[in-house]
Amino acid sequence: MTNLTPIMEKTHAWATGYAQRKGYKLNPDQEMVQLVVEGLSRNREELGRQYCPCRIVSGNVEQDRKIICPCVYHHDEIKNNGSCHCSLFFKQ
Ligand code: SF4
């Protein structure tokens, strides 16, 4: 991971801690992690919430709540596919 802004560092630290707490791991591909962390951080800065960068933000607050990372879908996605839709969190 290179050239992380402070907000990206914070997001990365959060994702690392979250993965550990839940028994997941981050994608071993650091470049992919960096891309997702960048997208999450951008959404946090520009939209005020850490929306999933791999899904469409609709503008409907209720609907969009579901895609604030960690989204409501990720446990099932990791269980069924080995990783979440963005390939940020992986099965151990
Ligand atoms: S798919 Fe879900 S858990 Fe994975 S990065 Fe996007 S919001 Fe986060």
Give the Å distance between the CA of 26 and the centre of ligand 1. Answer: 11
Helix axis angle for 30-47 and 6-22, nearest 10°, is 110
Please give the average per-residue pLDDT across 6-32, as a whole number.
98
Atom of ligand 1 at shortest range from CA of 51: 7
Average pLDDT, the chain: 97
State the pLDDT at residue 3: 83
Q: What pLDDT was estimated at residue 2? A: 80
- pLDDT at site 37: 98
pLDDT at residue 1, rounded to an integer: 76
Domains of the chain, earliest start first:
6-91 (3.90.460.10)
Tell me the percentage of the chain whose pLDDT exceeds 90: 96
Q: What is the mean pLDDT of residues 28-56?
A: 97
Q: How far apart are CA 72 and CA 61, in angstroms?
A: 14
Give yes or no for residue 24 CB within 6 A of ligand 1.
no
The overall pTM is greater than 0.75? yes
Question: What ranges make up the beta strands (E) of the chain?
Answer: 24-26, 89-91
User: What's the pLDDT at 7?
Assistant: 96
